[in-house]
Amino acid sequence: MKAGAAIIGGILGVIGAFRRREKLGGALMIVGGIISLFMAEPIAVLPFGLMFVGGVLALGEE
């Protein structure tokens, strides 16, 4: 179940990355990163950090 949640978080992050110019894209990256952090093993900290920072930067661009 944890792996499934991490995959869902990753998919949300990727969708958000492609829609970065919109506020929704940045929000999806942040949510995807948070899901990956709380639902996966410690190895998920790296993708969490990348997605979270990417989402914050995407929201900050506007």
From CA 28, how far away is CA 12, in angstroms rounded? 6
pLDDT tens digits for range 4-61: 766 777 777 777 777 666 677 777 777 777 776 666 666 656 667 777 777 777 777 6
- Quick one: pLDDT at residue 1? 59
From CA 27, how far away is CA 13, in angstroms rounded? 9
From CA 18, how far away is CA 45, in angstroms rounded? 21
Q: Is 3 exposed, middle or buried (0-12, 13-18, 19+ CB in 10 A)?
A: exposed
* pTM for this predicted structure: 0.55
